[in-house]
A and B are shown apart, each in its own frame.
Chain A
Amino acid sequence: MAVRGAAVWPESPSLRRDVEPWTGHFPGLGRIEVWADGRHSVTAEPDPVEPAALRERALLHGWAEPLSWIRRGYHLFWGAGVIRSDEPTCLLLAGDPHDVGLTLMELSARGWRVLSDLLTPVTWDEEGLVAFPRATPVAVSSTRAARHGITGTPLRRSTDTVEVALPMHDRSARVGAIATVRPRKVGEVTLESLFGHRRFEAAAAYLASGVLWPGDTPESGPRERFASQVRLSSLPAARIGLDPGDPSADIASLVDWWSTQAASGE
């Protein structure tokens, strides 16, 4: 579909990819434009209460900037990128934003830095997968931030999402491994290394799709997705179950697992 969203409904947000530049319109919030070379612009609609700067940031970080990576041919990994000081490779954290956010805050407290919050740009080169930094703020729920003793800054006047100031890493890095984080269920182990078909299955959910797949066309879809899934499944992978109430031990297990991956250089 070249036109996504309820484009026939004037009250609904929509994205047009059948025009150049791509044009997004969110009635009441504003518009975005994203060109093929990645340039992008945002225009916030006025609001009597909310400052324009907040609305422009939302349009930029939440909409235009992710699309600009796609237009330049990058894939977007569905998760965050983190790196431990002085190491050459980074770890990608797949999962829902509230679980990934918790992990980011825990790792930051242990000296790690963040390449990217949600949606990490990645490309393949001859040696493997490379992740790129984004200047987008780390956004978590206010509840999560409060539990970590962090007073975040609300992204909008009317939301429960806050921006938290975590140490950022501003250079690209080769990807060493991928960990999927999610709440641990009764009876589950904390950490499960994935091999073989389990890795392949997990890899199916790693990359953002739809309009966030570069060159999204009916012809290119299935074969390219399969190839990407195969390439991603070559990376070491693990599934981490978190106890949201007290994730310390779970995060320690993740760090230990990462250390063995980094040391073995699989």
Chain B
Amino acid sequence: MSARTVWLASFPKSGNTWVRAILTALTTHEHLFAVNHLGSGSQPFAVSGALNVLGLDPRWVAFDEARAVRAALIRDADADVEHATDIAAPLVRKTHERYRTGPPGREPFPADATRAAILIVRDPRDIVGSYSAFFGDSLDDTIGVLAGHQSRSRCRPSHWRTEQPWGSWSAHARSWLGDDVPFPVHLIRYEDLLVDPATALVPVLAAIGMSVAPEALDAAIEQARFDRLKEAEARTGFTETSPMSREFFRYGRAGGWRHELTDDQVAAVEADHADTMLRLGYDVTHDEHALDALARERTEARTARASRWLVLPDHLGLTVREGVVPEDVPGAVRPRTWLQATDRIAAVRFAGGAAVMVEDGRDVTVQWQPDPDQPDADPSWLVQGWAVTLAALQRGNLSLHAASMEIGDEVVAIAGRRGAGKSTTAMGLRARGHRLLVDDVTLIEFDDSGSAWTTPYSRNVHLLPDSAAALGVDFASLPMLAVGRDKAAFRPEDPGAALRRIDRVVVLMPTPRATAVTLRSVRGADRIPALINHVSRDGIAPVVLGPQRYFTALAKLAAAAQIQVVERPQQGWSLDEVLDAIEAGDA
């Protein structure tokens, strides 16, 4: 059976509800038409339908699982012909999201369950006033939203929703009109609907499989006339009005921006969106050269704001710039597909095209493009973690995969594999009043006597929800890490730059046979094996340092500090027991 779903896509406040009202009026007896019972309103980001379809409460799923639920619900709705009065008729569904693809089973808009899309566009200058009134944002903030500065798009299982990314007004329109969209997309301009809705709608309705008699369409358009919708809202209220607005249906006109926006505001919108506006048939009012200059100025300002993440503390001695990391570093060995290294250069490549290159332990190049769906996402881990690690190795030092804490008079590095609970343990100790020196990357250098020293530096801590809870911080209020990592960034207090001698290394080790939390010392020949997994940095360290320097440094660390292991069972243990053991320190 062919797909039935037709996405009624638009940037917010572009006329989506008006078109839905017309479509509802087409399929509803005139005496049963009600503004608060418009069809097609079930948006795909809302996954509460999992309760009705699967009996599954989406509050209990993880972020990525919520995306799988979304795709399953879309397919289920498309295939559910038992409740369809006409299985050939399209199943129209509203969305404000930009078009994008996803991995199998997690596609935001599954192509196999999509017949077509209708894209409604509206002059962005008119959207500004309407959006501002609806959401209660200022006109200038709204202009920022249209430029993609603000995202209301986070995956929130607690609210039964996945991401709902709009992108900028331009990116939104371009996404649906792109050559890579695998189903037909039919464009409607809001302004054309105002002039002659029947002429604008007829070809589109025919294209999606809705055969409508002219007189029926005229009657539906009359039923859904803007002033009638406005009057109905005044009489009965409108359930889709935002809590910040008294009315949903405001003016229903084009060109209101000439009275609502200042000339500077108009220029800002046109500078941000001129290319797409012209492509969609909207003339601009400012000189092309002036708009180009203003666009460059606004882009530079955004870049400057967004580039804060590139800054590292001066005492680390690194120079960071954004640029292109070459696909092939001349003369490099590739011990991993994502790692290249020469005696001077080390480069690491990540999913999504991000990359970091460090030269001579000093010069850092970071390649990264912000995700328009997550403009506030934090990419600082590229610099604060990877760049600092690569530079330390190139200088002949070690980077221990550990958080470091001051516990009493001691400096204790807390190491462990991914998922062992390093950050949670560090945050727990911090909550007990101990000082966090650094999370995740403990730089280690040796003095002539063989003592191991670390240079703390200020950086973000990457928290999973349980770590945030231990910290007493609201996970949902923190910026998410960029490049699809479901952790959030928390900035603790600056630890200062003074070198600190490492007294103890504690390795967190979930142990299947353990029956209780125990702390034990590691002695003799067991010390190097206890450390090796936590200094290799995914195999990068021996490549960059060279095998001989690597093992020499590893042996020095094993000799320089007391090495301990905290074993805990898989279940039936508490964070407090682990913290108590580390604080006590006597194995």
Chain A interface (Cβ within 8 Å of chain B)?
A: 1, 4-6, 9-15, 24, 26-29, 48-53, 57-58, 61-63, 66-67, 70, 96-98, 118-119, 139-147, 151-162, 183-187, 208-212, 218
Which candidate, B5-13, B66-74, B524-532, B549-557, is the interface stretch facing chain A? B66-74
B468 A142 Cβ-Cβ under 8 A: yes
A140 B80 Cβ-Cβ under 8 A: no
A13 B68 Cβ-Cβ under 8 A: yes
Is B159 interfacial (CB-CB < 8 Å)? yes
* Sample of 29 A–B contacts (CB below 8 Å): A4-B53, A4-B76, A5-B75, A6-B71, A9-B72, A10-B105, A11-B106, A15-B56, A29-B61, A58-B60, A62-B57, A62-B58, A62-B60, A139-B60, A142-B468, A143-B476, A151-B470, A154-B464, A154-B466, A154-B475, A157-B466, A159-B158, A159-B465, A160-B154, A160-B156, A160-B476, A162-B465, A186-B244, A210-B53
Count CB-based A-B contacts (< 8 Å).
Answer: 204
A141 B571 Cβ-Cβ under 8 A: no
A162 B53 Cβ-Cβ under 8 A: no
B54 A146 Cβ-Cβ under 8 A: no
A142 B475 Cβ-Cβ under 8 A: yes
B72 A14 Cβ-Cβ under 8 A: yes
Is B51 interfacial (CB-CB < 8 Å)? yes
B475 A5 Cβ-Cβ under 8 A: no
B60 A156 Cβ-Cβ under 8 A: yes
B108 to chain A, nearest CB (A): 14
C-beta contact mask, B55-97 vs A, less than 8 Å → 1, else 0? Answer: 1111111111100110111011001101000000000000000
Cα distance A28–B79 in the bound complex, in angstroms: 23
Is B245 interfacial (CB-CB < 8 Å)? yes
Is B179 interfacial (CB-CB < 8 Å)? no
Contact for B241 among A12, A28, A152, A185, CB less than 8 A: A185
Given contact pairs A28-B68, A211-B53, A211-B55, A158 touches B246 in the complex (Cβ within 8 A):
no
Cα distance A50–B68 in the bound complex, in angstroms: 18
Range, interface on chain B? 35 or more
In the complex, residue of chain B having the shortest beta-carbon distance to the beta carbon of A59? B60
Cα distance A29–B55 in the bound complex, in angstroms: 15
B159 A97 Cβ-Cβ under 8 A: yes
B61 A58 Cβ-Cβ under 8 A: yes
Residues of A contacting B50 with CB < 8 Å?
13
Residues of A contacting B477 with CB < 8 Å?
143, 146
B469 A142 Cβ-Cβ under 8 A: yes
B521 to chain A, nearest CB (A): 27
Given contact pairs A97-B159, A157-B466, A5 touches B474 in the complex (Cβ within 8 A):
no
A5 B72 Cβ-Cβ under 8 A: yes
In the complex, residue of chain B having the shortest beta-carbon distance to the beta carbon of A188? B237
Residues of A contacting B75 with CB < 8 Å?
5-6, 9, 12
Is B486 interfacial (CB-CB < 8 Å)? yes
Q: Which of B106, B243, B245, B473 lies at the interface centre, i.e. has the most chain A CB atoms within 10 A of its CB?
A: B243
Residues of B contacting A13 with CB < 8 Å?
50, 54, 56, 65, 68-69, 72
Is B52 interfacial (CB-CB < 8 Å)? yes
Residues of B contacting A187 with CB < 8 Å?
246
Cα distance A48–B420 in the bound complex, in angstroms: 11
The 9 A-B pairs with the shortest beta carbon distances in the complex, nearest first, are A11-B105, A62-B60, A210-B52, A141-B158, A154-B465, A146-B474, A6-B75, A49-B419, A161-B158
Residues of B contacting A70 with CB < 8 Å?
55
Cα distance A62–B473 in the bound complex, in angstroms: 25
B370 to chain A, nearest CB (A): 22
Given contact pairs A13-B54, A151-B469, A186-B246, A143 touches B63 in the complex (Cβ within 8 A):
no
Residues of B contacting A151 with CB < 8 Å?
469-470, 472
B105 A218 Cβ-Cβ under 8 A: no
Contact for B63 among A10, A26, A145, A158, CB less than 8 A: A158
Is B33 interfacial (CB-CB < 8 Å)? no
Cα distance A152–B21 in the bound complex, in angstroms: 42
B526 to chain A, nearest CB (A): 25
Is B289 interfacial (CB-CB < 8 Å)? no
Residues B139-190 near A (CB distance < 8 A): 154-160
Given contact pairs A141-B158, A160-B157, A63 touches B59 in the complex (Cβ within 8 A):
no
Residues B19-74 near A (CB distance < 8 A): 48, 50-65, 68-69, 71-73
In the complex, residue of chain B having the shortest beta-carbon distance to the beta carbon of A243? B243
Given contact pairs A146-B474, A183-B243, A187-B246, A63 touches B54 in the complex (Cβ within 8 A):
yes
Is B104 interfacial (CB-CB < 8 Å)? yes
Is B570 interfacial (CB-CB < 8 Å)? yes
Residues of A contacting B475 with CB < 8 Å?
142, 154, 160
Residues of A contacting B158 with CB < 8 Å?
97-98, 139-142, 144, 159-162
Residues of B contacting A118 with CB < 8 Å?
57, 59
Given contact pairs A11-B105, A142-B468, A158 touches B486 in the complex (Cβ within 8 A):
yes
Is B418 interfacial (CB-CB < 8 Å)? yes
Contact for A63 among B57, B104, B105, CB less than 8 A: B57
Cα distance A5–B53 in the bound complex, in angstroms: 6
Residues of B contacting A15 with CB < 8 Å?
53-56
Residues of A contacting B80 with CB < 8 Å?
1
Residues of B contacting A184 with CB < 8 Å?
243
Contact for B72 among A6, A158, A208, CB less than 8 A: A6
B567 to chain A, nearest CB (A): 16
A119 B57 Cβ-Cβ under 8 A: yes
A209 to chain B, nearest CB (A): 6
Cα distance A157–B246 in the bound complex, in angstroms: 40
Contact for B54 among A50, A52, A141, A211, CB less than 8 A: A211
